[in-house]
């Protein structure tokens, strides 16, 4: 009997959305918690931190969406330009493109004769796809998706930003700074662990890395808030 096939799970297929999701949520937690802590440290008990936190959530989500869309769109434009050039070269210089693909396979360890056969068969099947994959390094995994990246970043930033904001809204005013900072570090550590587990990376290293930079950001903004709060 033929062996049954089973789908294989490759974590690299998650790179696109995982990067945007982790970046968005991490920025949401760090920037909003830092804003709240910095303003709270400077405002001596007033509710100015709430306005700063809400404004930071909205502005940050829109900024993340716009930034990701523009950035990934630029990547997409570059990919399309490269594909158009390859399409033109395949139409005008097919023999040169064949030798180019053959040389790539020889460089990967095939004999010249086998590389010639492989290049010929792949170009017969899908010449542009073969060159996009093996010459340009493009694939469906790494291809740019601007709209997906923009929505993912905005949504995850909003979720991340909501966590310290909601925490600050329910804790006593005198404990706002330490509890917001502590819970935000818990959120960041959990996010780092989740992202590492999803991507197959070391959990402890990722958690510590995220927590360290988050603590540094909140510590600096708290210090600046205290300094300027004392000056005004």
Rounded to whole angstroms, the Cα distance separating 32 from 26 reads: 10
Tens digit of each residue's pLDDT (9 = 90 or more) over 66-78: 988 888 888 888 8
Rounded to 10 degrees, the C-alpha dihedral 171/177/179/183 comes to 110
- What residue ranges do the domains of the chain occupy? 12-226
| Interval 69-116: pLDDT, tens | 888 888 888 888 888 888 888 888 888 888 888 898 888 888 888 988
């Amino acid at each position: 009997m033929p062996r049954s096939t089973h789908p294989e799970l490759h974590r690299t297929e998650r790179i696109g959305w995982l990067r945007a999701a982790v970046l968005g949520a991490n920025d949401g937690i760090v920037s909003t918690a830092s804003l709240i802590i910095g303003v709270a440290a400077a405002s001596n008990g007033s509710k100015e931190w709430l306005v700063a936190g809400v404004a930071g959530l909205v502005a940050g989500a829109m900024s993340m969406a716009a930034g990701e869309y523009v950035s990934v769109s630029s990547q997409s434009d570059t990919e399309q330009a490269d594909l158009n050039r390859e399409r033109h070269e395949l139409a005008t210089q097919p023999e040169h493109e064949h030798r180019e693909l053959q040389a790539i396979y020889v460089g990967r360890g095939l004999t010249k004769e086998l590389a010639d056969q492989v290049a010929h068969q792949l170009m017969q099947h899908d010449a542009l796809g073969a060159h996009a994959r093996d010459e340009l390094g493009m694939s469906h995994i790494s291809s740019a998706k601007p709209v997906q990246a923009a929505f993912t970043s905005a949504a995850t930033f909003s979720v991340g930003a909501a966590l310290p904001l909601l925490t600050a809204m329910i804790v006593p005013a005198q404990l706002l700074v330490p509890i917001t900072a502590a819970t935000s570090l818990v959120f960041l550590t959990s996010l780092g662990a989740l992202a590492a587990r999803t991507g197959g990376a070391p959990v402890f290293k990722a958690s510590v890395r995220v927590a360290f930079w988050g603590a540094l950001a909140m510590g600096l903004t708290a210090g600046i808030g205290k300094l300027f709060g004392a000056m005004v």
